């Protein structure tokens, strides 16, 4: 059972549970006031990169105040500039106009509690606690949680809800960071306002690595020392251009440059998927030339339709293509390599076509599920679960100080890489531009994914998100490269089908 009004020792953040006599509004008010006090105590001034403190330190995560300030400033700061490639309608680059006085004025306005709550409501985001949860089952990345002891009532069990919360808070959480080494040739030492899609992609990739090295059943425990495997995963996403941090935002920007990715610019799900695919290819080539172990021990396969970007119809997951890749990429002595499947989609114009909502919800029940990269327009999040029509997500729009993780120190504090604050948003209100992720450890799991996907397509009433085929279709002459498609992603043409369907 969760004690009423208990406060977690891990981050100074409130443990989500049942509080007797409090309604939803009062619950949110108490939670936000506590987080605001914590953020004010920690301060928000930039500082050089610090080493992570030992357990017992304060968690940078879960701060509503910093998150909402960051989100508001992110709306005001970006300006549109033309890209060299042309045809993509330009890209978003951060830039401050008007100096620090304007920023200070905005901060003072959004500091008040009512303004923060108004912003959350306008974006469609709400807090999710045991006090306002329904009694329906929760699906989190292929795991089902029944949070009621009696199916005939809607009364939520705090103990069962805590099991769900332990799973949710064990997922790695990557947010905006500040105070790191400048990215590439830019002077940017923070990704505030433009890096949310990259951070969401890092979370999905980290979940694949966690499943590969630690297993889906792994849970974080504040009472135990951190394992070497876990710390190595966290370190690999550190905010540094070093080779010891292969999945850092610095390295993602470098690898993704052919797809229009640059420091200070926003990118869409398709470009991010191609960037992760290129990252896997680069890692494989490095191991071939220098030897050593792969830092990304899996194939990354992007399912994105015809090479020429033809619109109309669902993209096809080809079993023959995946088989060829996994047999070639398998570790020595293995017949099949682990697989990360990414499916970038655009399921509508301004919002998701309602015909696809049941299929989106069903993907969270797949054991291979890695969640969805999606969110509101221009504000990417990492969707990890669903209950009824509500999507549960981790929000990268929180600015924290960059830290260094030392894997050789099992007592290092990694609390800033985990979040126990659950947010939710109606699934039918997310941006239609999104990407699905699936992890398959072996051939059996891939076959199971294909079977589940085929069944889901059959039940879609003629509107499948993607389909499965044994053989690939003949390749048509391509006029448009993957790079050009990625650059044009944020400005798609009108789809030709009446179902609001578009292949990237």
Nearest CA-CA partner of 374 in 420, 429, 423: 429
- Scanning the structure block, which residue is given the tokens 């930039």? 46
**Chain-centroid distance, C-alpha 491:** 22
Rounded Cα–Cα distance for residues 64 and 110 (Å): 11
Chain mean position to CA 162: 22
Q: How far is CA 480 from CA 24, 31, 296, 344, in A?
A: 51, 50, 29, 17
Q: Looking at 167, 397, 418, 440, which residue is catalytic?
A: 397
As a 3-state breakdown, the chain gives helix, strand, coil percent values, each rounded to 5, of 35, 15, 50
Three-state SS at 485: helix
Q: Is 255:246 a contact under the CB 8 Å cutoff?
A: no
User: Pairing relation of β-strands 467-469 and 143-145?
Assistant: unpaired
Using DSSP, state whether 2 is helix, strand or coil: coil
Q: Could you confirm whether 397 is annotated as catalytic?
A: yes
By CB atoms closer than 10 A (0-12, 13-18, 19+), residue 58 is middle
Task: Choose, from 91, 125, 167, 196, the residue flagged as catalytic.
Answer: 196
Q: Which residue among the candidates 191, 283, 395, 500 is catalytic per the annotation?
A: 395
Q: What sign does the dihedral 114-120-123-127 (CA atoms) show?
A: negative
- 191 catalytic per annotation: no
Residue whose pair of structure tokens reads 């690999």 in the numeric block: 236
246 in Cβ contact with 236 (< 8 Å) = yes
Annotated active-site residue 212? The verdict is no
**Cα radius of gyration rounded to whole Å, the chain:** 22
Contacts of 298 (CB under 8 A, 6+ apart): 208, 212, 280, 329, 337, 338, 339, 340, 439
Residues noted as catalytic = 196, 395, 397
């Amino acid at each position: 059972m969760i004690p009423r009004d208990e406060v977690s020792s891990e981050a100074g953040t409130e443990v989500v549970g049942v509080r007797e006599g409090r309604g939803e509004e009062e619950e949110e008010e108490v939670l936000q006031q506590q987080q605001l006090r914590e953020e004010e105590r920690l301060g928000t001034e930039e500082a050089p990169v610090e080493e992570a403190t030992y357990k017992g330190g304060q968690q940078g995560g879960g701060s509503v105040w910093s998150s909402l300030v960051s989100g508001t400033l992110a709306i005001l700061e970006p300006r549109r500039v033309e890209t060299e490639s042309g045809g993509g309608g330009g890209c978003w680059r951060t830039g401050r106009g008007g100096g620090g006085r304007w920023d200070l004025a905005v901060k003072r306005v959004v500091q008040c509690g009512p303004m923060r709550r108004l912003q959350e409501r306008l974006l469609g985001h709400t807090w999710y606690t045991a006090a306002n949860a329904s009694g329906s089952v929760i699906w989190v990345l292929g795991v089902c949680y029944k949070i009621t002891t009696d199916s005939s009532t809607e009364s939520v069990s705090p103990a069962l809800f805590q099991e769900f919360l332990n799973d949710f808070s064990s997922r790695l959480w990557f947010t905006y960071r500040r105070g790191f080494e400048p990215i590439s040739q830019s002077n940017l030492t923070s990704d505030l306002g433009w890096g949310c899609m990259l951070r969401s992609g890092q979370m999905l990739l980290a979940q694949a690595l966690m499943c590969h090295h630690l297993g889906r059943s792994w849970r974080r425990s504040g009472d135990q020392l951190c394992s070497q495997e876990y710390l190595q995963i966290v370190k690999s996403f550190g905010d540094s251009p070093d080779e010891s941090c292969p999945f850092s935002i610095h390295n993602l920007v470098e690898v993704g440059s052919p797809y229009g990715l640059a420091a200070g610019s926003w990118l869409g799900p398709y470009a991010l998927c191609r960037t992760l695919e290129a990252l896997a290819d680069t890692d494989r080539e490095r191991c071939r030339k220098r030897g050593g172990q792969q830092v990304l021990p899996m194939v990354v396969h992007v399912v994105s339709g015809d090479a020429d970007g033809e619109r109309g119809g669902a993209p096809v997951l080809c079993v023959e293509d995946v088989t060829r890749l996994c047999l070639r990429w398998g570790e020595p002595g293995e017949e099949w390599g682990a697989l990360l499947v990414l499916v970038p989609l655009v399921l509508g114009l301004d919002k998701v076509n309602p015909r696809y909502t049941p299929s989106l919800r069903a993907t969270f029940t797949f054991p291979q599920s890695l969640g969805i990269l999606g969110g509101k327009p221009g504000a990417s999040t990492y969707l990890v679960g669903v209950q009824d029509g509500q999507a549960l997500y981790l929000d990268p729009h929180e600015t924290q100080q960059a830290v260094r993780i030392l894997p050789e120190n099992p007592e290092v504090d990694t609390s800033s890489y985990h979040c126990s604050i659950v947010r939710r948003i109606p699934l039918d209100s997310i941006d239609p531009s999104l990407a699905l992720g699936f992890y398959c450890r072996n051939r059996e799991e891939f076959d199971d994914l294909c079977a589940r996907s085929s069944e889901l397509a059959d039940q879609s009433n003629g509107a499948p998100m993607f389909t499965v085929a044994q053989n690939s279709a003949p390749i048509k002459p391509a006029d448009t490269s993957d790079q050009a498609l990625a650059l044009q992603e944020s400005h798609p043409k009108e789809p030709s089908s009446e179902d609001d369907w578009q292949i990237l």
